[in-house]
Every structure is written in C-alpha cells, then in structure tokens.
Amino acid sequence: MNVVALAGGVGAGKFLRGLVRIVEPRDVTAIVNTGDDISLHGLHISPDIDSVMYWLAGVADRDRGWGRSDESFRALDEVRRLKGQSWFGLGDVDLATHLVRTQLLSEGKTLSEATAHLTDALGIPARLLPMSDDPVPTMVHAATEEGQGLYMHFQVYWVQRGARDQVKAVRYEGGQEAAPAPGALEALAGADAILICPSNPVVSIRPILAVRGIREGVEDARRGGTGVVGVSPIVGGAPLRGMADRLMPAVGLEVSAYGAAAAYPGLLTGWVVDERDRDMASRIRDELGLRIAVTDTVMTDDDAAERVSRVALELATG
Ligand code: FO1
C-alpha cells in the first residue's frame, strides 16, 4: 500500500514513527514543509525536514521537540561570545546536518537530493521529499505592540521575536512559481491513502498546498477515490505544541478541531479528532461532510503513534 503524508515538524515526526510500523516504510512518502527553511551562518537549515528525519531515525529530542537528543550548544555559545547571530538555537550535533546539506547544495545538488543523501545516511527507509526544491518562505505580516508594521520570515516572528507581534496575515512567498519536488505529484497520483499529519495548518500544511500543483494533486487523487484523512493538531481547543493558536485566528480559522479541518476545504474525506473534542465530531461531520474517527491522539510514545496512524489509515482506506 502506497501512503503519502503531508508533514510539518514534531507532530508529523511522531505520527510517521507510528505509520512506518503499520505500512512498509519504503511505501511511505512524506512531503515535508520547507516554508520554515532559513539561511544562517551561510548554512541551509530545514527545520521540518530535520525534525521528521530525526524522529524517524530515533535521534530526536523528545522534550525539546526540535533538534537532536544528547545535544550540546558549545558552538552557539561561542557564536554569542563573538557577537554573531545566536538567536536560533543550532546544536553542535545538529550543525553537522546543516554542514552536509549546505555542502551538497553548493555542489549543485537539489534540496531533494540533499535530503535523500541525509535520510540514506541516517538509515531511514521511508522517502522524504521537500515540498519543493525552490524556496517558498513563509512570511508573516504583523504589527508590534506600538503599532509598527513588520513583514518577516516565520522564524524571525517565532524564534527571534518570540511571537510577541500581532499577526495580520501569512504569505507563502513564491508558492505559485515553485515546482513541486520531483516525485511528489507522482506519489500523490499513485497513493492508496493521503494522510495529513497533526501539524500546524497555517505554517506547516498550507505552505505545502501552496506549491503549484500540490493542492490539485491531492484534489485529483481524492476525486479518483483516494481517501484523504487528517489528524487534528488541536486537542481540547489548543495545540499540543507550537503556535497554531496565534496563527489560526489571523487567517480566519477557529482554534478548534473543527477550525483545523476547515483549513482544507474540498480536500479531505475524513478527520481524526481527539476524544477530548468528541462533542465537536457531529459538527465537523455535518458542516464539512467528513467521515470522523475519535481517538486519543496524544502520541506519548510509539505505541500511541501507531494507534493514531492506524485509525487515520483505516478511515482513509475503509
Ligand atoms: N525553535 C525555537 O523555538 N527556538 C530555537 O532556537 C530553535 C532552533 C532550531 C534549530 C534547528 C531546528 O531544526 C529547529 C529549531 N527550532 C527552534 C524549531 C523551529 O523554529 C520551529 O519550531 C519549526 O520550524 C516549526 O515546525
């Protein structure tokens, strides 16, 4: 069975660890958000690709959410002492990933090729594709407390400025000029199920759908009878982690399991909601016309992740 997953960072990493227990890993293709990608110190950093990669390789930091386990930050401390840019927490071991990726890109390899190199080196059998080899940065329009307008990269909004600004709008810059990564549209066309990981709709999944042809690829697959099922990243009215609660209202989405499903009009056939949001199931079913499954979606370990991915897959294929 061929399964395609649209993936953001931590939630996707956990979910995919469960999915590769129930589907042959080589038959899983994750199309990963690269809207968060940023260049710092001359290095190309792909936070969501790295999160998914580290989770699948079993080397992710479970508590911090991003980056590697058993990490140290000595290089960053020295960057700070040297009055360099130290606002983005690059760990010493994590740095190796960015060094290898950046070297490959400088040799003329694409981001897809660099990602394949890294996943191969980490022994990950599932296929990870960036959403595009072209840059599609997620940009945030916001206003400071003093009312001054800002237009900034998502990582500047989130990490450097600590999400303190009032978000007015979010843009996926260059999405319509970007080409999907080689193999992404073919994977969607050949999928027996398409799953949307429990990732932030505004800064993880919609950036993927903004790349020319990807939304249409999902729509075509759906019209052809492929189940398209998402897992709500909103549990009990709030995201488990991250910033969805600040960004969803800015783009007109209610911060709820309903609002997250409503982020994908015309794309879904089913939606997995957490048991804490059971009351919302009938509204999602009736208003959005989706098949619903209710389960405990909190992925505290791989067994829980396997259960959540099984529920999603069964809803998509059943
Ligand atoms: N998130 C933070 O809140 N602070 C950081 O210093 C930080 C560093 C970082 C380094 C590498 C990496 O792959 C991710 C990192 N993240 C950090 C996470 C990242 O900013 C976002 O949470 C993701 O882009 C959202 O999926």
What's the pLDDT at 75?
A: 98
What's the pLDDT at 241?
A: 78
3-class SS shares of the chain: helix, strand, coil, % to 5? 40, 20, 35
Mean pLDDT by 10 residues, the chain (318 residues): 97 98 98 98 98 98 93 98 98 98 98 98 98 98 96 97 95 97 98 97 97 98 98 91 84 96 97 96 97 97 98 97
**If you measure from the C-alpha of residue 281 to the centroid of ligand 1, how many angstroms do you get, rounded to a whole number?**
32
Instruction: Please work out whether the CB of residue 89 comes within 6 Å of at least one atom of ligand 1.
Output: yes
Nearest-atom index, ligand 1, CA of 8 = 26
Nearest-atom index, ligand 1, CA of 46 = 13
Instruction: Please work out whether the CB of residue 9 comes within 6 Å of at least one atom of ligand 1.
Output: yes
What's the pLDDT at 69?
A: 97
- 0.85 surpassed by pTM: yes
Beta strands in the chain (DSSP E): 3-7, 28-32, 38-40, 43-45, 127-130, 138-143, 149-153, 166-172, 193-196, 227-231, 234-235, 238-239, 270-274, 291-295
State the CB neighbour count (10 A cutoff) for residue 2. 18
**If you measure from the C-alpha of residue 66 to the centroid of ligand 1, how many angstroms do you get, rounded to a whole number?**
6
What's the pLDDT at 223?
A: 97
Nearest CA owner, ligand 1 atom 26? 9
- Best mutation site among 10, 63, 66, 100 for ligand 1, i.e. most ligand atoms within 8 A of its Cβ? 66
Instruction: Please work out whether the CB of residue 157 comes within 6 Å of at least one atom of ligand 1.
Output: no
